[in-house]
Amino acid sequence: MASVAIVTDTCHYLPRQLVAARGIHEVSLYVHWDGREDRESALPDFDRYYDHLSSTPSLPTTSQPSIGDFLAVYEPLLDAGRDIVSIHLAGGMSGTVGAAQQAREQLGERAPRVHVLDSESACGGEGLVVLAAHAAAVRGTSAEDVVAHARAARAELKMWFAIDTLEFLRRGGRIAAAQAWVGSALRIKPILTVDSEITPIERVRTSGRAFERLVDYLRTRKDDGAEGWVIQHIQAPDECARLVARGREIFGTDPVFVSEVGPVIGTHVGPGLLGAGAVPLSYLS
């Protein structure tokens, strides 16, 4: 067992079996929908949630973990003699990383053993930073070295995603950087990234063109030497499978992971998302 434990939230959307196999510890965000509150990590799958999201006139809400949620994960790890690197959803999108910092401050003399890192990303981008941190931790390096390795991976990370409409971002108030696009939202397919907050990259006219731009992006990542590639989607398994097939043609390898984005992020971008990104493989091994 590595002396440094990796803690994260649930907004990376790594495959659950991968999280379990790597021994990565999670603190769940919450979704409030259809008269109930659920930990995102407790949902068996996302189908029922997305069915509700597509049919409800009122947008469900999401919330960050409490300080107590973080302490419930941190304290047993510290008691076991492990230091912690805690990596979270971009602070420009959520107060999760701030709650992690507040929990750290409540640990008193043990606080220096907890290192909280803003991934400045979300979904697959956050997941790749988490996997980079885990790769460093299993080599037996110090917590400071794990943080440095994770930050270096983040500097090399790029992740794009195409969505069907800006409507969910508009309804959730998460559209500031792309506000100028709202007027033509029904006539475009936005391509976005996360750089501390959701940021527009370009807009295209059709879903087919958005798909081909993601393929072009994968080629660019391959040319840049970033061969640790990933694909994510929301309720778009066929398009996801097509993009994975194109990625295999480009890289000659399988993706690091393929997964579906869950409700906390999905509430704000809506069904139909298709995303692709990569980092150099050296950060993941």
Q: Which CATH number fits domain 4-29+61-155: 3.40.50.970, 3.90.1150.10, 3.40.50.10170, 1.10.645.10?
A: 3.40.50.10170
Percent of the chain with pLDDT over 70: 94
197 — pLDDT class (breaks 50, 70, 90): confident
Query: Is CATH 3.30.1180.10 what the domain over 158-284 is classified as, yes or no?
Result: yes
Average pLDDT (236-252) is 98
30-33 sheet: strands from edge to edge: 36-39, 30-33, 61-63
Give pLDDT tens digits for 100-153: 999 999 999 999 999 999 999 999 999 999 999 999 999 999 999 999 999 999
As given in the structure block, the two tokens for residue 94 are: 């959520």
Quick one: tokens of 44?
């068996």
Number of H helices, E strands in the chain: 10, 13
Extents of the domains making up the chain: 4-29+61-155, 158-284
Which range (82-96, 128-142, 190-204) has the least confidence?
Answer: 190-204
Q: Is residue 79 over pLDDT 50?
A: yes
**CA dihedral of 49, 25, 172, 190, whole degrees rounded to 10:** -90
Q: How confident is the model at residue 173 (pLDDT cuts 50, 70, 90)?
A: low
Lowest mean pLDDT among 27-31, 75-79, 203-207, 262-266: 203-207
Reported as a pLDDT band with limits 50, 70 and 90, residue 1 is confident
Of the candidate ranges 52-66, 72-86, 162-176, 218-232, the one whose mean pLDDT is the lowest: 162-176
pTM equals 0.94
Question: What is the chain's mean pLDDT, rounded?
Answer: 93
Mapping DSSP to helix (H, G, I), strand (E, B) and coil, where does residue 154 land?
helix
pLDDT band at 177 (very low <50, low <70, confident <90, very high): very low
Q: How many residues does the chain have?
A: 285
Query: What does the pLDDT read at residue 200?
Result: 84
Highest average pLDDT, of 121-130, 159-168, 196-205, comes from: 121-130
| DSSP secondary structure code for residue 107 in this structure | T
Taking 3-state DSSP, the helix, strand and coil percentages for the chain, each rounded to the nearest 5, stand at: 50, 25, 30
